[in-house]
């Protein structure tokens, strides 16, 4: 059985991870693949079921948690969708520029259909990813609807009083943003990560 587990981990999951990094798979196909993996591990044949004493969820946990270290395909698919969405949002690669120009209107997704295997896979994750990102302000040259540099005088925040009167909580939020003294590009960062990536 250990050899079959190793085959599943190295061959099947290795190929699927590559495929998931390009597009999302439908849940019914993922469930079928997991059923075949389970049957192959327990019986040696993908079409033959065998009575098992360990839940598949337990099998898909790490060695430290008592599992076999097999990764759940549905979790891999979801993780790769989130990663692909993050790459779309922050990457400077040509594919990301092209897809952003087709599917985003500013920072919001378009509301009409565009044929794209990548976008159709990740559009349902877009708002989830956007909730977890924020801008790290650097030299303030990022093209936005309004420029931040208009609100900085002598390396200090200078928010007009009419804006502060309309949004009293804004001053506290702005004061938490440090103005950098080293020139570098503005960038998005992932808030749940220690290094922003």
**Is the per-residue pLDDT at 123 higher than 60?**
yes
Q: For the ranges 95-99, 152-156, 178-182, which has the lowest average pLDDT? A: 178-182
**Separation CA 131–CA 167 (nearest Å):** 21
Q: pLDDT (tens digit, 9 = 90+) per residue, 13-28?
A: 888 888 888 888 888 9
Q: Could you give the CA distance from residue 27 to residue 195 in angstroms, rounded to a whole number? A: 32
DSSP conformational letter for 26: P
Quote the percentage of the chain above a pLDDT of 70.
90
How confident is the model at residue 146, as a pLDDT?
56
Which residues does 38 contact at the CB level (< 8 Å), separation at least 6? 52, 56, 59
Which pLDDT value is given to residue 136?
65
30 Cβ partners below 8 Å, 6+ apart? 73, 74, 77
pLDDT tens-digit profile of 41-96? Answer: 888 888 888 877 788 888 888 888 888 888 889 889 988 888 898 888 888 899 98
């Amino acid at each position: 059985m250990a050899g079959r587990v190793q085959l599943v981990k190295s061959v099947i999951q290795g190929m699927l991870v590559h495929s998931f990094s390009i597009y999302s798979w439908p849940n019914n196909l993922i469930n079928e693949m997991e059923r075949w993996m389970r049957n192959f591990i327990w019986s040696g044949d993908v079409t033959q079921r065998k009575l098992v004493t360990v839940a598949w969820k337990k099998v898909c946990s790490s060695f430290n948690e008592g599992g076999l270290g097999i990764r759940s395909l549905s979790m891999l698919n979801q993780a790769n969708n989130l990663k692909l969405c993050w790459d779309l949002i922050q990457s400077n690669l040509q594919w990301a520029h092209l897809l952003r120009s087709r599917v985003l209107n500013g920072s919001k997704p378009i509301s009409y259909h565009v044929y794209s295997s990548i976008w159709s896979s990740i559009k349902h994750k877009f708002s989830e990813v956007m909730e977890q990102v924020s801008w790290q302000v650097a030299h303030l040259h990022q093209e936005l609807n309004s420029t931040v540099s208009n609100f900085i005088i002598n390396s200090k925040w200078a928010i007009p009083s009419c804006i502060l009167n309309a949004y009293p909580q804004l001053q506290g939020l702005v004061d938490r943003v440090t103005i950098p003294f080293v020139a570098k590009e503005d960038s998005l960062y992932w808030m749940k990560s220690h290094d922003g990536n």
